[in-house]
Amino acid sequence: MINVNSYLQQPPTQSTELNTSRTSSATKHVDNASSDKSPEPNLSPLARQLNEVQARADARDAIMGRDELAGKAKNITDQLIGSSYHNNKARHDAEVPDTNDPILLERAKQATDFVNGKGSNPFKGLSADQLTLITYDEGGTFTINERRAAWEEKYDQWQDWKKEVGDKIIREWKEKGTITNSLTEVLEHYENLPPIEQAQYPDFWLASLNAQITHYSDQEPLSGESYTSLLELMEPVGLKDNLESFLFSKE
């Protein structure tokens, strides 16, 4: 998996049916203007694009295993924020969509401006599922800079989630002396990730998380002996740094 401290992290894969259902919902929130008889002509340009990339994501996830998805995610992340991106930045900044649609051309320009520190992110406020579809699509529907902008918005949302859950863990420990509910919320977050993001977690992670939930469900208190394993478990979701200073201040 990619370095959990450097990149946006996201873990065993759910059933194909569940993940397909979730990614299908990603396009429904973009445009609700379609009629029952002729939905496609009434979809917004973004909704049509998301339909395209969702189909490719479903096909990819159906044939690729966990390790293959993890490797693909690592390569894509490097293309979007790593050395590969910076080595080809001039080409990425010059890229324009293969379209005459002024809406799509303007959005691509806005994305390029944004990744160069000017203006707002054209994908700000999209759902996490929609951002994932854009980020990891390799079909050419979105420019590299659009995909990087989607990655950055997803990262910002992840940072907000980390702070919220980190605060909940600390609050639950202070109030109840356990963290069962907070760990369950982490599990739910994991279960709602698309396969390509789930694959970036260590293979042992889910089993370890469930073991921790069982441990604290038995009303076992947090103690110095359990801190290290808990912090290791929280590292892939980016919560280790949030909790480390608090936990060791309790000793």
pLDDT at position 30 is 55
pLDDT tens figures, 137-182: 999 999 999 999 999 999 999 999 998 998 998 898 888 878 889 9
pLDDT at position 106 is 97
Kindly tell me if the per-residue pLDDT of 77 is higher than 60: yes
Alpha helices by DSSP H, listed for the chain, are: 16-28, 39-42, 45-63, 66-81, 83-87, 89-94, 102-115, 128-135, 144-176, 180-191, 195-198, 205-217, 224-234, 240-248
Determine the average pLDDT of the residues in 9-13.
35
In the chain, the N- to C-terminal Cα span, in Å, equals: 33
DSSP code for 29? T
Which of 244, 190, 182, 237 minimizes the C-alpha distance to 212? Answer: 182
Rounded (10°) CA dihedral 198, 203, 206, 209: -120
Which of 167, 159, 178, 170 minimizes the C-alpha distance to 226? Answer: 178
Which of 135, 130, 193 minimizes the C-alpha distance to 161? Answer: 193
d(CA 213, CA 226): 12
Which of 138, 142, 77, 74 minimizes the C-alpha distance to 107? Answer: 142
pLDDT at position 25 is 54
pLDDT tens figures, 85-97: 999 999 999 999 9
Output the pTM of the full model. 0.81
Kindly tell me if the per-residue pLDDT of 13 is higher than 70: no
Q: How sure is the predictor about 221, in pLDDT bands with cuts at 50, 70 and 90?
A: low
Determine the average pLDDT of the residues in 50-55.
96
